[in-house]
Amino acid sequence: DANIGEDAGRRLKIIHEEAKRCSGIVQGLLGFAMPKPFEKKRVDANEVIETTLKIAGYAIGKDNIKIIRNFAKDGLFIIGDPARLEQVFMNIIMNALNAMPDGGTLTVTTRKEEEGNGTKAVVSFKDTGIGMTEETKKKIFEPFFTTSYDEGRKGLGLGLSISYSIIKAHSAGIVVGSEGLGKGSEFKIIFPGA
């Protein structure tokens, strides 16, 4: 039966994606204990984000999430480790999905910003989810801090703390914004331009 084959294929894809995500978390934990040198090369953040969105594609479709891409037209180049950047972007995307249990919109924006001392590369993930309180924003990067939007998907609260350490290792910063509960959230990562 064709339906059984398609269902098995979808399940195998989910298993593969979740195994890859778990591997990234384990590698991040190992990185805390025995940090490996980062791969330093010039990468296009647009391409890394697009790869990450493809990996998360099943969860995005299943959760009735619309993705809006506002990418810098000529690419957004940064110096970094593509695999670790993908891990950061995946953690932020999965948190956005968890914050929109009934579906919604995730807007991904990349742009250059001129500053007095040079160009910054900005990557923004803005969702229409449940938002955050000021207290949650203060704790969001603490290890083992988690919110439980959906008990079936509740994690260990390590994804964002690992992401924070990866962002800092890229000489970047992150700003988290939310106007409050029910008003969505935005994660904005600011990298030195390349």
With contact defined as beta carbons under 8 Å apart, do 181 and 132 qualify?
A: yes
Give the chain's mean pLDDT: 80
| 142-162 pLDDT, tens digit each | 655 555 544 444 444 556 778
Pairwise CA distance, residues 87 & 56, whole Å: 11
Paired sense of beta strands 41-44 and 77-80, if any:
antiparallel
Paired sense of beta strands 65-70 and 173-177, if any:
unpaired
One-letter amino acid of 73: K
Cα dihedral 27, 28, 31, 33 sign:
negative
Answer whether residue 98 shows pLDDT above 60.
Answer: yes
| 28-86 pLDDT, tens digit each | 555 544 456 678 899 999 999 999 998 888 778 777 899 999 999 999 999 999 989 99
Model confidence band, residue 7 (pLDDT cutoffs 50, 70, 90): confident
DSSP string, 62-106: HTTEEEEEE--TT--EEEE-HHHHHHHHHHHHHHHHHT-TT-EEE
